[in-house]
Structure 1
Amino acid sequence: MVIERLKEKGVLFKEENYKHRYPTCWRCKTELVWRVVNEWYIAMDKKDPDDKKGRTLREEMVDVAKKINWIPKFGLERELDWLKNMHDWLISKKRYWGLALPIWECAKCGHFEVIGSKDKLGKEAVEGWGEFEGKSPHRPQIDAVKIKCPRCSQITSRIPDVGNVWLDAGIVPISTMPASWYPADFITESFPGQFKNWFYSMIAMSTVIKNSPPYKTVLGFATLLDEKGEEMHKSKGNAIEFNEAADKIGVDVMRWMYLSQNPVNNLLFGYHKADDVRRRFYLILWNIYSFFITYANLNDWNPDSKIGSYQSTNVLDRWIVSRLNSAIAQVTQSLTDYNVQTASQTIEDFVIGDLSTWYVRRSRERIKDALPALYSILVNLSKLLAPFMPYVAEEMYMNLAGENSVHLSDFPQANPKSIDINLEKEMKKAREIVEKAHAERKEVGIKVRQPLQKLEYGGQKLPEPLELVIADEVNVKEVVHAKALRLDAKLSPALKAEGEAREIIRQIQQARKEAGCELSEKVTVTLPAWPKEYETEIKKQTLSKELVKGEKLTIKRAG
């Protein structure tokens, strides 16, 4: 139209197409038109006549927001920033279905009346009450009710607008829960947008109605994105349907992805990320459980009634029991603080760093004696895991404890008497010494399988049982307290022979694995040579009936 008028006047300079940004519907991509209409608002900066301090609604809401426990802490800053900078609260929508705004506006004098209850509406109604009575306060029946304008006596109708959805959602703590439950202990939602929507609307409604916080604690979390960090949409082809994800990933792994995530950061979700979590934690947990079941069966071991009061004198057993109880205490406190990430990280650190990497590996040579402690650890660990990974926890617990369900058992409680802080500190130092000794071995090019004579270490002297643990792990004959850490790398003929025997044991074990041998299966081994003084040890460690000289290493299964 503009172009045509310019042409008519002969003043059109040039006509051409050009690109520009234009709003479209995010879902169907239809072009949108900006429409200016009149709306209804709640004033934020008028003085509250009922407030003794003379505050505005905005100021009252600020004071209420400060009484809430915000997780993460910056949530309060974001909410206060919104309250500080927002305009009056837009509460109306030009739709048919929704919360009918209880506002009757006089077309003659402009006065409007807000009806605060169904009873009041019944008393004020002059038309349409019979059509509305007994029905929900929605259109069209609510629109039939007319009242008389208190100023000019004109018959007035309800405005056609319905309420913003957040106006309705804001009264959930009051309308949905029993009065004795107010305020809610805890709410959670994705924080992008919720500071100006649900978090805000509940604060607004509770401030007006009760002048108190609607909830005690709020946890806000970031957004779920695909593995490349892009938003998920069906139209983009990168959305993953829940049931498909649950089937392919497994719900326990999927739950751990969410629980171990820092809620401040966006979660990158997808099958490759799930595989990482499965390898990092889930499979290690399952391997420990399978390891116990295998060796319990091999040794025909079953827990007895005294297992709950079992007290081991072994330093590794006492340490892992202490670490479990420390982990239980930390997890319990973290859950009390609504800090699920720290709780899950505590469990993961215990399972990977303490139970798998250190305790189980260091207990392989004494596994029969370690079975009672490992059993107790796994039973309590399954209880600890139950809220996090309910299915694997159920599988472990029912098989280990022989009871109906882990979810019918009590959540484990830390036993302060089982926590030995000094032992945990000493074991931590022992592991640091081991780490440095392994680094020295790597530097001089000597594998751990090759025994060495002596390791010296500095600092505070450790108890003898821990020195023996260090000696076994570093593979040295003696551990000596000295001024600093030093590894004696000299190899005597005897040490070389023992190292050769250990290497042969490793090769035979690998051959057994590749042949699919059972753990209890006897084999006959053919190999070029072996240290005769270690023949008995080689046969014992590899379950070999006989060592036969031949050109290369082979094994013959009994069957």
Structure 2
Amino acid sequence: FPGQFKNWFYSLLAMSTVLEDREPFKTVLGFATLLGEDGRPMHKSWGNAIEFNEGADKIGVDVMRWMYVRQNPSENLLFGYHVADETRRRFHLKLWNVYNFFVTYANLDGWSPMAGNKEPGGTPLDDWILSRLSETIKDVTYFLEKYDAYLASGSLEGFLDDLSLWYIRRSRDRVGPAGESAKDKDNFYKTCHTSLVGLSLLLAPFTPFISEVIYRNLTKGDSLHLGSWPSAGKIDEKLIKQMSNLRLVVEKVHAIRKDKGIPVRQPLARLETEAPFEVPNELKSYLTDEVNVKSWILRKGKTLENSLDTKITQELEEEAKTRELIRSIQEERRKMGMSLSEKVDVSNTWLPSALGLVQRLKSKALIDKLSKGDFKVEKV
């Protein structure tokens, strides 16, 4: 914006040179014009002007700051409450949900950062997110040294998406009542704790308030603004690429399910894939669990092609109905305000006949007594 350079940056430069005989700054980053979210200049008479104090109170300063850094500085910034709501939903709420998931289950399982293994990692999924953290530290550091807050914040959004939409999503059954291995729980908690602490340090220049709350609660230490900038650790580029390829297949298979109207909760027997890449065996279970197929056959091919067996047998249908019953019970538990560790008695008009499904139902929904009858969920 020309007025910003003429009336502010130039004035600072001229006064400092004349009065102090030195430059007041070495680098200036200027944005294009700030407009209302309707695309017009802000005017009170048009009803699209937002004073700073009003915006800070109603939007939140961390959200406002993120709106600026996620804006390409060469383009006009559309500023308003609807844009702010979308920014908050896309980033801040996602960050808080990850933090809340970690804290809720860490407290439930009695985990603390001082317990268990000294080093994070343990599974390919853990090692992958730690590599992504190191990669993000490296990228954000590089972009900030170039005064490119736009690309730096983009790297942070990408890491948060990976942390939320893949790492946490694929780790939900590792913790709480569903988790069966104490060692695996510790691997998850240590890795997730390391990821959140590292992310909060990287976010300090961008969103200083929410990052401070998360950091202080996780470390019980001094302010992160008094700490050191994080250093990148080992980056397993091969693992990052392999996981990226696997998630590409997941995306395509989800699209097939959506196109055929088959929800993910309905298990399917087989997926056959031809792809110009390989996926190691230790990663394949992440795909079969995510897209809910019993087996995955991966062959070498020139392009990525997927063939999904959509035939639904009686056994597969029964498994889907069990999943739906678990979801209904969990919803009732939520309405009743029950904790994640409290057991319930459940009755329902339909119950699975397979013993394995009955055991899964009781384990996932924390059921003490299971019987036939009208649908009812009661505290024990």
For residue 196 of structure 1, what is the aligned residue in structure 2?
A: none
Asked if 1 retains the 8 angstrom alpha-carbon contact of 2:120 and 2:190, the reply is no
Paired residue for 2:363? 540
Q: Letter of the aligned partner of 1:363 in structure 2?
A: S
Q: What is the distance in 2 between the residues matched to 1:323 and 1:421?
A: 9
SS of the counterpart of 2:339?
A: coil
Instruction: Report the equivalent of 2:38.
Output: 228
Matches within 5 A, 1:148-163: none
RMSD of the alignment, in Å? 2.4
Letter in 2 for 1:398: R
For residue 258 of structure 2, the aligned residue among 416, 421, 442 is 442
Q: How does 1:3-42 map to 2 (within 5 A)?
A: none
Native 8 Å contact 1:173 1:184 kept in 2: no
CA distance, structure 2, for counterparts of residue 507 and residue 480 of structure 1: 33
Supply the AA of the counterpart residue of 1:519: L
1:175 maps onto 2:38 in alignment = no
Asked if residue 499 in structure 1 is aligned to residue 317 in structure 2, the reply is no
1:392-541 to structure 2, matched below 5 A, reads: 392-415=210-233, 418-459=234-275, 460-482=277-299, 483=301, 484-532=305-353, 533=355, 534-541=357-364
SS of match in other structure, 2:30 = strand
Contact 2:12-2:24 within 8 A present in 1 as well: no
Q: Distance in 1 between matches of 2:343 and 2:10?
A: 75
- The CA deviation at 1:329 is 1.0
Q: Distance in 1 between matches of 2:44 and 2:120?
A: 57
Aligned 8 A contact 2:94 2:164 in 1: yes
**Alpha carbons 1:398, 1:405 under 8 Å: kept:** yes
Which residue number corresponds to residue 557 of structure 1?
A: 379
Letter in 1 for 2:318: A
- CA distance in 1: counterparts of 2:33 and 2:251, whole angstroms: 39
Letter in 2 for 1:493: Q
Separation of aligned partners in 2, 1:433 and 1:501: 26
Residue 375 (1) aligns with residue 198 (2) = no
Q: 1:363 aligns with which of 149, 171, 190?
A: 171
| In structure 2, C-alpha distance between the alignment counterparts of 1:486 and 1:554, rounded to whole Å | 40
Partner of 2:61: 251
With the length of structure 1 as denominator, give the TM-score of the two structures. Answer: 0.61
Aligned-pair identity (%): 46
1:277 matched to 2:87:
yes
Q: Structure 1 CA distance, aligned partners of 2:67 and 2:240?
A: 29
- Does the 8 Å CA contact 2:216/2:224 hold for their aligned counterparts? yes
Counterpart CA distance in 1 for 2:271 and 2:333 is: 33
Letter paired with 2:342? E
Closer, same or farther in 2 for the Cα pair 1:436/1:167, shift >3 Å?
closer
The answer to whether the Cα contact below 8 Å between 1:255 and 1:389 also exists between their aligned partners in 2 is yes
The Cα shift of 1:320 comes to: 0.5
Structural mapping, 1:181-196, within 5 Å: 182=23, 184-187=25-28
- Over residues 151-175 of structure 1, what are the superposed CA-to-partner deviations in whole Å (9 max), with x where a residue is unaligned? xxxxxxxxxxxxx999965524523
Could you tell me how far apart the structure 2 residues matched to 1:495 and 1:169 are?
A: 71
Q: Counterpart of 1:62?
A: none
1:344 equivalent in structure 2: 153
1:499-550 deviations in whole A, cap 9, x for unaligned? 2211211121122223322222211112101113221210110011111211
CA contact (8 A) 2:13 2:24 kept: no
3-state SS in 1 of match to 2:329 = helix
Secondary structure of the structure 2 residue equivalent to 1:548: strand
Contact 1:224 1:266 in 2 (8 A): yes
1:443 is displaced (CA, Å) by 2.9
Change (3 A) 1:165 1:425: closer
Q: Per the alignment, in what secondary structure is the counterpart of residue 334 of structure 1?
A: helix
In the alignment, which residue of structure 2 is the partner of 1:24?
none
Listed as ranges, the gaps of 5+ residues in structure 2 are 176-184
Amino acid at match of 1:419: I
AA aligned opposite 1:175? V
After TM superposition, the score normalised by the length of structure 2 is 0.88
- Give the whole-Å Cα distance in 2 for the aligned partners of 1:554 and 1:253: 43
Tell me, in whole angstroms, the C-alpha distance in 1 between the residues paired with 2:246 and 2:78.
Answer: 38
Aligned-partner SS, 1:338 = coil
The C-alpha deviation readout for 1:283-312, integer Å capped at 9, x for no partner, is 0100100000000000000012786x5142
Taking the aligned partners of 2:358 and 2:116, their CA distance within structure 1 comes to: 40
Q: Does the aligned pair in 1 maintain the 2:265–2:324 contact within 8 Å?
A: yes
In 2, Cα distance between equivalents of 1:372 and 1:170: 49
In the alignment, the residues of structure 1 paired with residue 318 and residue 19 of structure 2 have an alpha-carbon distance, to the nearest angstrom, of 77
One-letter amino acid matched to 1:436 = K
Corresponding residue SS for 1:238: coil
